[in-house]
């Protein structure tokens, strides 16, 4: 299930992508328009700024803005920043692999085989979609 953090992060990114390019948007505006708690949104936008998706400007007329063109922001990257691993179990994660304690042999594990298919399907969908696709 998609967390509220990720859902709100995607809503904020699409709002910023729909705004005039390079013009900072205040957190309060995004929060009001997208019905998101301003305090929660602040932490989400800070994460997106620290990972290179957003820039920010302080002071009057300040706010957040996209650093990259929406067509360059692939959903795989956004989901990993906001949600963490795309895989539903750690034994199939590409970036956060961990062996399951209860599984003696991953190659014979039915859950492992199914979760690889789920991961690969999710990666295909996320990898095919950019922020530009979400706003078109």
Say whether pLDDT at 21 is over 90: no
Task: Determine the average pLDDT of the residues in 35-64.
Answer: 94
pTM: 0.88
**Cβ atoms of 22 and 65 closer than 8 Å:** yes
Task: Determine the average pLDDT of the residues in 58-74.
Answer: 92
Instruction: Provide the pLDDT for residue 81.
Output: 94
Domain extents in the chain: 4-66, 73-129
Q: Cβ of 42: how many Cβ atoms within 10 Å?
A: 14
**Predicted confidence (pLDDT) per residue in 99-113, tens digit:** 888 888 888 898 999
Fold entry, domain 4-66: Arc Repressor Mutant, subunit A (1.10.10)
**Cβ atoms of 57 and 65 closer than 8 Å:** yes
**Predicted confidence (pLDDT) per residue in 82-99, tens digit:** 999 899 999 999 888 888
């Amino acid at each position: 299930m998609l967390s509220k953090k990720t859902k709100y992060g995607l809503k904020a990114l699409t709002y910023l992508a729909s705004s005039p390019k390079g013009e900072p948007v205040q957190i309060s505006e995004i929060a009001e328009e997208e019905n998101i708690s301003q305090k929660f949104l602040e932490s989400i936008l800070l994460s997106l700024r620290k990972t290179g998706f957003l820039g920010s400007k302080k002071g009057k007329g300040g706010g957040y803005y996209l650093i990259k063109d929406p067509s360059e922001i692939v959903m795989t990257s956004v989901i990993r920043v906001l949600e963490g691993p795309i895989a539903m179990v750690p034994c199939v994660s590409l970036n956060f692999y961990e062996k399951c304690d209860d599984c003696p042999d991953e190659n014979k594990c039915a859950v492992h085989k199914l979760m690889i298919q789920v991961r690969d399907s999710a990666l295909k969908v996320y990898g095919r979609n950019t922020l530009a696709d979400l706003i078109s």
